[in-house]
Amino acid sequence: MHVEDDRTGMEVGTLKRALADNLYCIQGKDEYFATAYDYYMALAYTVRDRLTHRRIKTAQTYFERDAKMVYYLSAEFLIGRLLINNLINLGMYDQMRQALKESGLNLDDLLEREEEPGLGNGGLGRLAACFLDSMATLEIPAMGYGIRYEFGIFRQLIVNGWQHECPDNWLRFGNPWEIARPDYVVEVKFGGHTEAFTDDQGNYRVHWMARNTVYGTPYDTPVPGYRNNTVNTLRLWSARAGEDFNFQVFDAGDYTQAVADKTFSENISKVLYPNDNTPQGKELRLKQEYFFVSCSLQDIIRLYLRKHDNFDAFPDKVAIQLNDTHPTIGVAELMRLLIDEHGVEWNHAWDITRRTFAYTNHTLLAEALEKWSVNLFRKLLPRHLEIIYEINYKFLDEVRTKYPDDPERLARMSLIQEGHEQMVRMAHLACVGSHTVNGVAALHTELVKQELMHDFYEMFPDKFQNKTNGITPRRWLLMSNPALSSLLTEKIGDRWITNLDDLRRLEQFVGDADFQQRWREIKQFNKQRLADHILSNNSIEVSPSSLFDVQIKRIHEYKRQLLNVLHVITLYHRIKANPSLEMTPRTVIFGGKAAPGYFMAKMVVKLVNSVADMVNHDPE
């Protein structure tokens, strides 16, 4: 008789044994003392065991084949809850539900015990998460890099219509999906000054004499593909001090200063998007961006050098995608690492850098493109400012050669914005330091080429291309809407789960009355579930028969929530002026957070709540 390994087996009996084993050996509980959270943790570890086995095999395959790797650098990854996603992608959802049922447990109850990872905020972070899922499903060798935020962005409370921010302590009970890798810790430097010297071979060199040192510890989260054996990795960095505790200072009675280094360092990975309305906030933002980029690039180089003894093949084995401008300091950091740490000559290093990076632009608003004060750069990253100046000097020579006697163009394309305060233009650096620039929709890309970065497009037309944002159908349809997913699979098979183009086959059912009725019933069922959720959580009763007008995204002036609420006010006044007006009943649902320092966005939150209070309590 064959007995499956409790760590890797997928049969119901094996899963039951694994659950009991993890409850006892990892949580240290039995059925008499275990809480619902203990059972969730045992369940998560049981799933993680199966992921770990596949992840190790995946990493072995990549190493043996010396595969080219895609490294996706992003300030945020809005990955969502992982348990149900992992169950579905591993193809063990039904078996696990049955194993839990036979153990006297309910999967739905345990799913609600999982914390939402505080690692992302909006579309940029969700795009990053969808890319990781899709690359694993397509079996593309890839790894994501970001920050392990201890408190996420914030937990939103609404008090008298106003947004209040509270810490989102999503890690307070631990995270069963991550594995700490303290053996891969890296050193990141800040501040100080640089010293130039000539080495033994007569080469010009620069030594960065840093003022502060922070250490980055990686935590790995597995990213499984859909029903294949590929499990890629999301590696997130947590900051810590080189010396957590100064015993001499403590012994002298200065207890606060004794842990000052620890506080300075750990602030870097505390919060996603700290308020940057103050000089301290801006400094922390730049520290965060450089911290995770430097950690990641050092790690990428370490992985590359396992198989290579020089950097000639680096762009052929490494592709780095910059998700917006947050990781753009990577252009200067890779140059620093190649030149200062590994002795690569400037022109060769620049060729490697430009062939390695690609840049995704997310905004068409020029004022929203990231810029950093030259003075702040000089304070925190003096060596990188020197490198950026050198890149800019050589780049503007290229511009002069191609467009002579055009000083206005030089000013527009310079990496340094002149004025009252000199600024480093990070989008310009990303464009100059990358081989490809893409927008996230066809119209978006055209506007990038024709308006936002027109000068760069004229100079490098082949560099610009479009990559329309998509979503992973595993999370956004298969997981989110199981009833509709079952109907689709019944009618057209399950290929749509990995190939959305297959949904075109539904066109043959356009005139099928039975299909239309079942579709409507599923939609009504889901609307009723949402109505029940709103009643339970917001004490507002809505009609599932009404039209649901939903806008969920971060609150921002250019996201048009204000336009939407003005439309609500317009409809309200029309009804008040003409009570017999024929109009489809409508339920308007807003969801989103305003950045803590974004005054206008927080006013929009207040306006939405004030309009809701008036409309919802109107006796007519």
pLDDT of 197 strictly over 60: yes
pLDDT band for position 199 (50/70/90)?
confident
Question: Tokens 């917006």 map to which residue?
Answer: 324
Going by C-beta distance under 8 Å and a sequence separation of 6 or more, which residues neighbour residue 426? 325, 328, 329, 369, 370, 371, 372
Average pLDDT over residues 479-495: 96
Note the pLDDT tens digit of each residue in 377-386. Answer: 999 999 999 9
Domain boundaries, the chain: 66-80+116-466, 512-616
Going by C-beta distance under 8 Å and a sequence separation of 6 or more, which residues neighbour residue 78? 119, 120, 121, 122, 125, 126, 128, 129
Determine how many CB atoms are found less than 10 A away from the CB of residue 396.
Answer: 17
Q: Which residue type is seen at 598?
A: Y
Note the pLDDT tens digit of each residue in 145-156. Answer: 999 999 988 999
d(CA 564, CA 201): 66
pLDDT band for position 255 (50/70/90)?
very low
d(CA 487, CA 288): 45
d(CA 620, CA 417): 57
Asked if 58 and 232 touch (Cβ cutoff 8 Å), the reply is yes
Pick the CATH number of 66-80+116-466 from 3.40.50.2300, 3.40.50.2000, 3.90.226.10, 3.30.70.1380: 3.40.50.2000
Asked if 376 and 282 touch (Cβ cutoff 8 Å), the reply is yes
What are the φ and ψ backbone dihedral angles of 402, each rounded to 5 degrees? -80, -35
Average pLDDT over residues 533-551: 95
Task: Provide the percentage of residues in the chain whose pLDDT is more than 90.
Answer: 87
Note the pLDDT tens digit of each residue in 339-365. Answer: 999 999 999 999 999 999 999 999 888
Q: Is the pTM above the cut of 0.85?
A: yes
Note the pLDDT tens digit of each residue in 104-145. Answer: 999 999 999 999 999 998 888 999 999 999 999 999 999 999
pLDDT of 249 strictly over 90: no
Instruction: Please provide the average confidence, as pLDDT, over all residues in the chain.
Output: 94
Average pLDDT over residues 494-498: 95
pLDDT of residue 202: 85
Average pLDDT over residues 321-347: 97
Q: Which residues of 366-395 are buried (b: 16+ CB within 10 A; e: fewer)?
A: eeebbbbbbebbebbbbbbbbbbeebbeeb
Distances (CA, A) of 241 to 75, 261, 291, 470: 21, 6, 13, 39
Asked if 494 and 501 touch (Cβ cutoff 8 Å), the reply is no
Q: Which residues of 440-462 are buried (b: 16+ CB within 10 A; e: fewer)?
A: beeebbebbbeebbebbbebbee
pLDDT of residue 250: 55
Q: Residue 154 corresponds to which tokens in the numbers above? A: 């914030």
> Alpha-carbon dihedral of residues 22, 25, 27, 29, nearest 10 degrees?
100
pLDDT of residue 242: 72
d(CA 112, CA 102): 19
Note the pLDDT tens digit of each residue in 384-410. Answer: 999 999 999 999 999 999 999 999 999
Residues constituting the chain: 620
d(CA 22, CA 11): 16
- 3-state percent breakdown (helix, strand, coil) of the chain, nearest 5: 50, 15, 30
Average pLDDT over residues 7-25: 95
Average pLDDT over residues 87-101: 97
Q: Is 188 helix (H, G, I), strand (E, B) or coil?
A: strand
pLDDT band for position 243 (50/70/90)?
low
Q: Which helix (H) or strand (E) holds 205?
A: strand 204-209
Note the pLDDT tens digit of each residue in 562-619. Answer: 999 999 999 999 999 999 999 999 999 999 999 998 999 999 999 999 999 999 999 8
